[in-house]
Amino acid sequence: MVQSWLPALDGAVAKLETGTKVAETGLHDMGDPAGSATHIATLLEPDASWMIVEPIAADQPENNLGPISRLHYNASTMIGVPTSLDQEVGLALGVQAGEARVANLLAGAGFSRVRRAAEGPFNMVLEARL
């Protein structure tokens, strides 16, 4: 994470070295990821980045048929989606939402720039900016 994910975010390492916070979270298990994103947008300074780590997934379900996607779908069905549905809003985004759906959710929360900054075999790291 320190050697590849943080340097992939514009200016994150320099900000951390000066004591500026870099927020990191995932949205897939939250009952209200849109509300959470909107709240985080109110907390960020104008030049801040929000690092979002989500399971890697294609935007179209038919492109998520490999062994890792099957594992993610099973875990999401048994853990993440029921957890989300049990919360007040219950959006149930799930772990295979895909980058486009997450970016659309973030745009609705007020983020004007969202990009995939890094990825590994299991996760994608998105950078959101106001």
pLDDT of residue 16: 78
How would you write the pLDDT of the chain (130 residues) with one tens digit per residue?
Answer: 678 888 888 888 887 788 766 676 788 888 899 999 999 999 998 888 899 999 999 999 899 889 988 888 888 888 888 888 898 898 888 888 999 999 999 999 999 999 999 998 899 999 999 9
pLDDT of residue 22: 61
Residue in the block written with tokens 């099957």: 70
Q: Which SS3 state, helix, strand or coil, does residue 123 take?
A: strand
* Whole-number Å distance between alpha carbons of 60 and 122: 17
Distance of CA 27 to the CA centre of its chain: 5
What angle (nearest 5°) sits at the alpha carbon of residue 114, between those of residues 38 and 29? 55
DSSP E strand boundaries for the chain: 23-25, 49-55, 113-119, 123-129
Give the pTM: 0.86
3.40.50.150, 3.90.1580.10, 3.40.190.10, 1.10.260.30: CATH of 5-129: 3.40.50.150
| Residue type (1 letter), 97 | A
pLDDT of residue 30: 87
Contacts of 1 (CB under 8 A, 6+ apart): none
